[in-house]
Amino acid sequence: MIENQKPTALITIFGATGDLANRKLYPSLYHLYKKDKLDQKFAVIGVARRELMPDQFQEQVRQSILEHVGTNENLDEFVSHFYYHSLDVSNTEHYHDLKNLVDELDAHYQLNGNRVFYLAMAPQFFGTIAESLYKQQLKSDNGFNRLVIEKPFGHDYPSAKELNDHIRLAFSEDEIYRIDHYLGKEMVQNIEVIRFANAIFEPLWNNRFISNIQVTSSETLGVEDRGRYYEGSGALRDMVQNHMLQMVALLAMEPPIRLNTNEIRSEKVKVLRALRPLEGDEISNSFVRGQYNAGVSKGKQVKSYREEEHVDSNSNTETFVAGKIMIDNFRWAGVPIYIRTGKRLTEKSTKIVVQFKDIPMNLYMKTEETLNPNLLVIHIQPDEGITLHLNVKKSGQFVETTPVKLNFSNKSVDGMNTPEAYEKLLYDCLRGDATNFAHWDEVALSWTYVDPIAKAWEQTKESSFPNYSSGSMGPDEADKLLEKDGFHWWPVTDLDVENC
């Protein structure tokens, strides 16, 4: 049951001076505030190690809004809800003072004991913070207590389990909100609606009519200033274990019996359980890794991954992954789901292409030609929309076909930007809707799938690295992966909404 649409709560943000808080969390809270989705009775405590006076912190929040939202409407009033507490997360004494502030604000704003603890900081502290919040009695007895955790949730299955066990000593599964910001994206949420609210798709959504599915999430940026983290992660852990597999689960799940958190999550879990595990040679037959070389990205010369800051000059870390995922269940047997993601690729784009099987007999073309297959393209970002590729008659005397695209663009309908993923997810969390957060079972199964691949790649040094130029769409092996099956990647640029 989803709670109050205008929730009241005390939001404590650990990592309050960090990048995520400044770029995403404060602007998202401001948007909610401006849209009147937050009750006037709310307060935010920023927690970080640095010593800051309350007004310095409020000034930081103000700057974040000015920079990322660009307006100052009601800004003074908004920032007046922000408080600051300097804390060393591993010092239990410090939580005592934090508790005093929490209790004081709870009473002052009449927050009914509703508490959100948002951990926007390095993962090695997640367990310690959760435990201290519990032991130092920062959880309330009367309202709700919710712990929001950023990724990465572990490094592999054993470390994720250890972390989860630690956190679960302090918070129940229902109280834990594991962020996967892809689940907050408008068009990722739309996958379910496109599938289950349209009579024309669901009957075709299976191995009788779909030949393959392609999920591409490409980035133009390199590793930027995250070399230290990324070296130990790579694209497989950074993108595939979470965002890519979440999209696969939404594409492949059975219709839930009800649109509620437990039913939807349980259908996604079934998909993740049905992923065909890979071992031995199957790994290199099904997954390809890449690392970017220097090149030209968006007209600018850029350096190779190995030349980036905090990156080993001989690094074996992948910045690109392409893979073929098979789902061993009745609906999907035999249908490859290809995924690819990487940094320093041609364009910033996330798209899903559902390719339908060819019609059994080609009536309309000369024998050497083939008809274009029907495609359903779901544009996740930066465009938001769907395109259906069909064949129609070319106007004129003869019966010849020509491809057409039926296009729906979210932006042109709404005439405005859809809310940021973080805004939606924060609002969901405040309302107690955990549907778009990852349940532990999903996290565990995703790691179980990814671990053997990560292990194999760690154990064998990839001698071809760097194997793709910045500005390209990854290594040639990624194309060969599909060619072996008689397919090819649908070029993301050709599928852009403006090219339709």
431 has binding-site annotation: no
Is the Cβ of residue 212 or residue 217 nearer to ligand BG6 in the bound state? Answer: 217
357 among annotated binding-site residues: no
> Any known ligand binding at 238?
yes
Cβ-closest residue to ligand BG6? Answer: 238
* Nearest CB to ligand BG6, comparing residues 106 and 150: 150
Looking only at residues 210 through 229 of this chain, which bind ligand BG6 when binding is defined by CB under 6 A?
Answer: 217, 219
Output 267 or 384, the one with its CB closest to ligand BG6. Answer: 384
State in angstroms the smallest separation of the CB of 181 from ligand BG6.
6
Residue 219 is labelled as binding a ligand? yes
Catalytic residues: 243
Taking the least distance from each CB to ligand BG6, the nearer of 350 and 355 is 350
Tell me the per-residue interface mask from 312 to 351 with ligand BG6, x by CB under 6 A, - otherwise. Answer: --------------------------------------x-
Q: In the bound complex, what is the minimum distance in angstroms from residue 316's beta carbon to ligand BG6?
A: 18
- The distance of Cα 293 from the centroid of its chain, to the nearest Å, equals 26
Q: Report which residue type is found at 176.
A: I
Say whether 89 counts as a known binding-site residue: yes
Lookup result for tokens 């274990």? 241
- Applying the rule CB under 6 A, the residues between 345 and 364 that interact with ligand BG6 are 350
Within 10 Å of residue 458's Cβ, how many Cβ atoms?
11
Task: Answer for the pair 454, 236: CB distance below 8 angstroms, yes or no.
Answer: yes
Q: Please state the φ and ψ torsions of residue 73, each to the nearest 5 degrees.
A: -60, 125
Of 350, 345, 348, the closest CA to residue 475 belongs to 345
Of 45 and 160, nearer to ligand BG6 (C-beta) is: 160
What whole-number distance in Å separates Cα of residue 42 and Cα of residue 108? 10
Shortest separation between residue 205's beta carbon and ligand BG6, angstroms: 25
Restricted to residues 180-209, the positions that interact with ligand BG6 (CB under 6 A) are 181
Binding pattern for the stretch 97-116 against ligand BG6, x by CB under 6 A and - elsewhere: --------------------
Least spacing, CB of residue 387 vs ligand BG6, in Å: 20
Q: Is 411 annotated as a binding residue?
A: no
Kindly state whether residue 238 participates in binding ligand BG6, applying the rule CB under 6 A: yes
Measured from the CB atom, the residue of 20 and 133 that comes closer to ligand BG6 is 20
Residue 11 has phi, psi (to 5 degrees) of -110, 115
Quickly tell me which residue has 């959100």 as its tokens: 116
Q: Compute the least distance from the CB of residue 25 to ligand BG6, in Å.
A: 15
Whole-number minimum distance, CB 154 to ligand BG6, in Å?
A: 14
Residue type at 366 in one-letter notation: K
Minimum distance from residue 424 beta carbon to ligand BG6 (Å): 13
Per CB under 6 A, does 150 bind ligand BG6? no
Measured from the CB of residue 225, what is the shortest distance to ligand BG6 in angstroms? 12
CA 493 to chain centre: 21
For strands 300-302 and 292-297, give the pairing: antiparallel
- Residue 442 in the binding site for ligand BG6 (CB under 6 A): no
Whichever of 217 and 469 has its CB closer to ligand BG6, that residue is 217
Are the C-beta atoms of 125 and 95 separated by less than 8 Å?
Answer: no
Radius of gyration, CA atoms only, the chain: 24
Considering only residues 155 to 184 of the shown chain, the ones binding ligand BG6 according to CB under 6 A are 181
Distance CA 179, CA 148 (A): 7
Interacting positions 382-441 with ligand BG6 (CB under 6 A): none
Whole-number Å distance between alpha carbons of 110 and 104: 10
Tokens read off for 65: 């809004």
Of 17 and 341, the one with the shorter C-beta distance to ligand BG6 is: 341
Number of residues that bind ligand BG6 (CB under 6 A): 5
Task: Write out the two tokens for 164.
Answer: 């989860």
Q: Which residues are annotated as a binding site for NADP(+)?
A: 49, 88-89, 151
Q: Which residues are annotated as a binding site?
A: 49, 88-89, 151, 181, 185, 219, 238, 343, 348
Q: Which residues are annotated as a binding site for substrate?
A: 181, 185, 219, 238, 343, 348
Binding site for ligand BG6 (CB under 6 A): 181, 217, 219, 238, 350
